[in-house]
Amino acid sequence: MDVPVKSSSENKQLTDQFGRTINYLRLSVTDRCDLRCRYCMAEDMTFLPKSDVLTLEELCELSSAFIARGVRRIRLTGGEPLVRKNILWLVRALGSKVEQGLLDEVTLTTNGTQLPTMAEDLYRAGVRRINVSLDTLSAEGFKAISRRDKLETVLEGIQAAKAAGLRVKINTVAMRNFNETEIPDLVEWAVQEGLDLTLIETMPLGEVQDARESSYLPLTAVKNALEQRFTLEPSTHKTGGPARYFSVGDSKSRLGMITPLTNNFCDGCNRVRVTCTGRIYMCLGQDDHIDLRAALRSQGKEEELSAALDTAMGLKPKGHDFAMSNGQMVGKVDRHMSQTGG
Ligand code: SAM
Ligand code: SF4
């Protein structure tokens, strides 16, 4: 019987040059989207030709390479992951890895527009938690920020997800002159619906029509405003991610805050991102990357991918450089969030 030759790095836990354990993969399955959120995309985005995008089978093989190196959680993202044709095939494949104990969790981040028809299938495929992005409860506001008239569909999608048994966390980008005064109402709504909600500071990712500085809202200010209405207590809840969590009064909902600009969160970073073309980015806010596609399509793909992941670990930077300086956002990167995978 042939014994497969294992490279020395195979099965070793991915650890970066600063000793951080990497056990979380955010996998972008498409750069396309049915919305055009103003802080994320320009209206006239040029999307990748379909021939550049990895097949679902290749995305699954890539996932296996990460799992072999100690990744325990995979989040599908994009662009909008649920507009990728046959995406449920990949979700099922990853769900079966959870069932086999090879993964702890498969999750996804979605804008919610496809949830009315897909929520039950996602649950059946093995998903138990999802993040839904929602910046306002006003139909006009939703149309203004996403350039599409889909608030009703998204709200219907959130109800469908709850009914299917999925735990839902809302992601809200905090924006001056947009949802600044509405955020306490959004938190109240999340509490009433039994949902968690995480606020995010706008990051300078890719060119968009509006100047990012004009909508930048530090969460320090938002927290002060929220404390006028709610009792927020720091929570011990940890996900290994960038959010700091608070309990909201005596409700079951948790409030998260992701503060890349006012409070860098990189010390405990446990993640890498892979684009739908197979590029691994070690940091959302830096350009260092490696193309995994050649390794994925090579003869000895398991060894080649494992070796490429080791190279990537050596290139993972200490952190991003996003900051406000004299009223200007610095540390910008050219890639939109929808290209790297949110
Ligand atoms: N389409 C899905 C969605 O909207 O949830 C997944 C991809 S989206 C790029 C992931 C997350 O990134 C969303 O919560 C979105 O609000 C956030 N996002 C996009 N651009 C951002 C930016 N420049 N700064 C902060 N968050 C951003
Ligand atoms: Fe699409 Fe998500 Fe970007 Fe909005 S944030 S444009 S839903 S990818």
Asked whether residue 308 carries a pLDDT value surpassing 60, the answer given is yes
pLDDT in tens, 120-154: 999 999 999 999 999 999 999 999 999 999 999 99
- Yes or no: say if 240 and 265 are a contact pair by the CB < 8 Å rule: no
With cut-offs at 50, 70 and 90, classify the pLDDT of residue 3.
very low
Q: Is the CB of 296 under 6 A from ligand 2?
A: no
Q: What is the Å distance from ligand 1's center to 14 Cα?
A: 26
At residue 238, the pLDDT reads 73
- Identify the residue whose C-alpha is closest to ligand 2 atom 8: 79
- Identify the residue whose C-alpha is closest to ligand 2 atom 4: 37
Q: Domain ranges in the chain?
A: 8-340
pLDDT in tens, 276-288: 999 999 888 888 8
Asked whether residue 29 carries a pLDDT value surpassing 80, the answer given is yes
Q: Is the CB of 133 under 6 A from ligand 1?
A: yes
Asked whether residue 8 carries a pLDDT value surpassing 70, the answer given is no
Asked whether residue 6 carries a pLDDT value surpassing 50, the answer given is no
Angle at which helices 56-68 and 87-99 cross, to 10°: 30
Measure the CA angle with vertex 241, ends 248 and 269; round to 5°.
Answer: 150
CA 171 – CA 174 distance, rounded (Å): 10
Per the model's pLDDT, the better-predicted residue between 220 and 4 turns out to be 220
At residue 11, the pLDDT reads 64
Q: Measured from the CA of 337, which atom of ligand 2 is nearest?
A: 3
Residue 148, judged by CB atoms within 10 A of its CB (0-12, 13-18, 19+), counts as middle
At residue 321, the pLDDT reads 76
At residue 337, the pLDDT reads 82
Among residues 285, 329, 37, which one has the least CA distance to residue 178? 37
Probe target for ligand 1 pocket from 87, 132, 335, 337, with the most ligand atoms within 8 Å of CB: 337
Both tokens of residue 234?
């720091």
205-209, 225-229, 268-272: which has the highest mean pLDDT? 225-229
Q: Is the CB of 338 under 6 A from ligand 1?
A: yes
CA 284 – CA 317 distance, rounded (Å): 10
* Spatial CB neighbours of 284, under 8 Å, sequence gap ≥ 6: 203, 205, 273, 320, 333, 337, 340
CA 77 – CA 29 distance, rounded (Å): 6
The rounded percent of the chain whose pLDDT value lies above 70 is 96
- Identify the residue whose C-alpha is closest to ligand 1 atom 13: 133
At residue 213, the pLDDT reads 84
Superfamily of structural domain 8-340: Aldolase class I (3.20.20.70)
What is 180-246 written as a DSSP string?
Answer: TTTHHHHHHHHHHHT-EEEEEE---BS--SS-HHHHB--HHHHHHHHHTTS-EEE-----SSS-EEE
Q: Measured from the CA of 208, which atom of ligand 1 is nearest?
A: 23
Per the model's pLDDT, the better-predicted residue between 85 and 7 turns out to be 85
Q: Is the CB of 337 under 6 A from ligand 1?
A: yes
96-110, 259-273, 326-340: which has the highest mean pLDDT? 96-110
At residue 9, the pLDDT reads 52
CA 159 – CA 165 distance, rounded (Å): 10
- Identify the residue whose C-alpha is closest to ligand 1 atom 2: 110
CA 88 – CA 134 distance, rounded (Å): 23
With cut-offs at 50, 70 and 90, classify the pLDDT of residue 10.
low
- Identify the residue whose C-alpha is closest to ligand 1 atom 10: 342
At residue 5, the pLDDT reads 45
